[in-house]
Structure 1
Amino acid sequence: MRLCHLDDLPEGDSRGFDPHASGRDTVLVVRHGPALHAWVNACPHHGTPMAWRKNAFLNAARDRIVCGAHGAQFEIPTGRCTLGPCLGQSLTPVPLHIHANGEVHLADSPHEETSQ
């Protein structure tokens, strides 16, 4: 299932996606260095959506994912909580497949994963 093209997500940026047309962004993707990292858009503390506004998943330094509901902070590459009420818990990873033409898709299976 297609999410976007690499060019649609600049370095150091984040974006939410609604791949199953549920009416809300259920997946968040962060471009961090050469890699894309994708997570279920739900804080492990209460399952609340992460963004405090549309596509706003990162702190001001753009080096941590932040839960807009209670300020928990998560490492971008690992999804592990480093600050807040869910300390030590992690976001749920979403495997991606990046095609040679730059198209970013949800991976059909974990072995298809090419960036995370």
Structure 2
Amino acid sequence: MVNWLKICDLSALPEDSSRGFCISTSAGLADIFLVRKSGEVRGYLNQCPHTGGPLDWVPDQFLDLDRRLIQCATHDALFRIDDGVCVAGPCAGQSLVAIDLKQEGNDVCMRDVVSEK
């Protein structure tokens, strides 16, 4: 069974911005972030593939100064917004873990897979 969990209203995520969330899922709390770029919303776990730590050191700051790439605050690794692949830094070639998203009206939702008993 697939459930969809509301993360936020689209209006809470302006164009060229990022925002972190802690969402209660069937597997527990998920620390995630969303990025809105060119009208598209992408979501990833807030976990660097190199250190395992969060990417932001200031709340909701996941993008580089040009707002073109996701940046890890710990060691400046850079990730493409579209697919989460690291293009520079110690984890080059590795990827962020993507969140399955959909938009329902003005709601941005993430997929929460619940095992059937």
Q: Same fold (TM over 0.5)?
A: yes
The correspondence for 2:87, drawn from 67, 82, 90, is: 82
The correspondence for 1:68, drawn from 64, 73, 78, is: 73
Identity of aligned residues (%): 37
RMSD of the alignment, in Å?
A: 1.4
State TM-score, norm by structure 2: 0.86
Note the C-alpha offset of 1:107.
2.0
Q: Is the counterpart of residue 10 in structure 1 residue 30 in structure 2?
A: no
Note the C-alpha offset of 1:52.
1.8
> CA separation in 1, counterparts of 2:73 and 2:13?
21
Higher strand share: 2
Q: Which has the larger radius of gyration?
A: 2
User: Aligned pairs, how many?
Assistant: 106
Residue number in structure 2 paired with 1:44: 49
Q: Which runs of 5+ in 1 are unaligned?
A: 110-116
- Which gives a bigger RCO, structure 1 or 2 (Cα 8 Å, sep 6+)? 2
SS of aligned partner of 1:107: strand
Residues 73-101 of structure 1 show CA distances to partners (whole Å, capped at 9, x for unaligned) of 0000010000100000000000112102x
| 4+ residue runs over 3 A deviation | none
Q: Which runs of 5+ in 2 are unaligned?
A: none
Note the C-alpha offset of 1:43.
0.4
What is the identity, as a one-letter code, of the residue corresponding to 2:104?
A: H
SS of aligned partner of 2:23: coil
